Amino acid sequence: MQGFEFNTVGRLVNGSGSSLELAGECRKLGIARPLLVTDPGLVAIGLVQPVLAALQEQDLPALYAGAAAFCYFSFYEGFGLPVLEAMSCGVPVICAAASALPELCGGVGLQVDPHDIEAMKTALQQGLTDEGWRSRAAQQGRARSANYRWDLTASRLVAVFGELAG
């Protein structure tokens, strides 16, 4: 993975129709480096290469670090762990303003309606061209992700169990 550069990583949107439209808009923006996405619909029609098929968990930080931005336009998320992983790697996040993602991001990164292709296109354009924003978003994302640690989660859970046990 070393030396491999690309523009974005992550799911563009849920639903291959919208993903296809957004991928077309990305091409219109003149994106030279490949888009890596996890949307199987785009892989199936040959718009992107299935390079993530055998990705190991230990490779994720290198994959994130090579990205100019992490895009995650999901309609439904229980938590949004991929967004948190990207922020902790210092990758600017562009994601859906839906489900659990606004609370997780806490104002860090760009958030848009996952049904609005034009808003996603605008966010991608800013995310890939505005170096100042990318630098700020990377720093803020690392700081925000530091609030989410397994040891803090465990201690808070133990405290809740203690209160419930009385």
pLDDT digits (tens, 9 = 90+) for 143-161: 999 999 989 889 999 999 9
Give the model's pLDDT for residue 136: 96
In this predicted model, which residue has the larger pLDDT, 124 or 112?
Answer: 112
Give the model's pLDDT for residue 117: 81
Give the model's pLDDT for residue 55: 58
Question: pLDDT digits over 106-122, tens only?
Answer: 999 999 998 888 888 88
DSSP 8-state class, residue 115:
T
Q: Does residue 141 have a pLDDT over 90?
A: yes
Give the model's pLDDT for residue 7: 44
Asked which of 3-12, 14-23, 32-41, 55-64 is least confident by mean pLDDT, the reply is 3-12
Q: Which long-range contacts (CB under 8 A, 24 or more apart) does 26-31 make?
A: 26/121, 26/124, 29/121, 29/124, 29/125, 29/128, 31/7, 31/128
The chain-wide mean pLDDT, for the chain, equals: 75
Q: What percent of the chain stands above pLDDT 70?
A: 66
Structure tokens at 155: 């201690």
CATH class entry, domain 6-165: alpha beta
Give the model's pLDDT for residue 24: 60
Tokens 């999901």 sit at which residue?
74
| C-alpha–C-alpha distance, residues 40 and 24, integer Å | 16
Question: pLDDT digits over 9-32, tens only?
Answer: 444 433 434 555 555 666 666 655
| C-alpha–C-alpha distance, residues 9 and 93, integer Å | 10
Mean pLDDT of 65-78: 81
The Cα-based distances of 6 to 55, 62, 83, 115, 135 in angstroms read: 16, 12, 17, 25, 17
Give the model's pLDDT for residue 100: 92
